[in-house]
Amino acid sequence: MKKFFYSLILLVSLCAIFTCTGMTAKEQVIGSDNCYIVDYNSGRVLYAKGENEKKPIASMVKIMTLLLAFENVDSGNLAFDQKVTISHDAARQVGSEMFLDEGQEYSLSDLIKGIVTMSANDASVAVAELIAGDEISFTKVMNDKAKSLGMNDTLFANATGYPTKEEQYSTAKDVTCMMRALAGHKEYYNYSTIWLEDYTHPSGRVTQMANTNKLIRHYKGCDGGKTGYTDSAKYCLAGTATRNGMRVVGSVLGANDSKERFRAMSSLFNYSFNNYSKVVLVKSGSPLSIDVKVSGGKKDKLSVVAKAELSVLQAKGESAPKLEYNIPESVKAPINCGDKIGEVYAVVNGNKIAVCDVLAAEEIKKASIWDYVKKIM
């Protein structure tokens, strides 16, 4: 009887092994019905499933709230140490909150911390009011920003994602798009990597902040993301992770429970890191091996450089990426060092998947009459 039992276990195990090995790498991805992941640098799609289906996204709406806050700091309209007086509307928010005191002043940095770590609805409304005066006006700013990012299947109704009578929805593709934009702000990681913190309010009261994104602790390389949950949206997650110089950004919508969303995102990360490698085509500031003719200048040729690093993720067994240039044959003087001259593209399988600006590496002044005389002589 024991021999039969062990033989049965062995048979089942072998069947499982052969079944798994017969699956492609993509088939082994344990994602939700709505998931999407891309290369951060180029935006190249690494895996997609049901990415354009419109669904509620719960608190992942706050990714846009955060993005607008960081952009306003970058533009000089706001400052991280700026004081924000908490309104009645902000303080009375329900659901996830950091328990802000009405009438008290909090720094914008602390409000951002509350949104990133514990998905605070009260802090989200306070930031919305700071930027646009009120939450309704801020919602218009959110939708305008979504359109500018190409998020054509997204509609925001508030700054928090809390259920409302008004229609609101997004897609896995659009969520990944705004998460990718947020991941471009270096200051964001000062907040997104916080795991636990005892926050002291101006009144002296203490609230423990616990990060809702468990992957920053349990997945090597994950350093950012945003969770979401409502009855209609179910369990959602957007996240970003980096390994071996590669950064990927993805999202999972509509998981049945919290563990499932974290498993699904981990699986998307694993698939990306296991099947793609980073290829640097052009280093930031490196000279390009092309010369641009100059008309009417003291010099006849202009040297050019790449504005930033141009890199892509290359799949295993895929043909090497190539470079293509969109640069005029000739430019007219005067030219300042740093002027944009054109663009250089990374091309994979005939598709342009990444682009970088090409800049003038030197100053070339307009030629004088004496310069023309010297050329003739």
Contacts of 374 (CB under 8 A, 6+ apart): none
Nearest to 175 by CA among 127, 227, 218: 227
- What are residue 349's phi and psi, to 5 degrees? 55, 35
Q: What share of the chain is helix, strand, coil (3-state, %, to 5)?
A: 35, 30, 35
Shortest CA distance to 353 belongs to which of 342, 362, 345?
345
Given the residues 32, 42, 55, 59, select the one marked as catalytic.
Answer: 59
- Looking at 42, 119, 266, 272, which residue is catalytic? 119
Catalytic residue among 55, 62, 145, 214: 62
Is 62 among the residues known to form the active site? yes
Q: Can you give 337-356 as a three-state secondary structure string?
A: CCCEEEEEEEEECCEEEEEE
Does residue 119 carry a catalytic annotation? yes
The amino acid at 16: A
User: What is the b/e burial string over 84-109, where b = at least 16 CB atoms within 10 angstroms of the residue's CB?
Assistant: bebbeebbebebbbbebeeeeebebb
* Residue 45: CB atoms within 10 Å: 14
Catalytic positions: 59, 62, 119
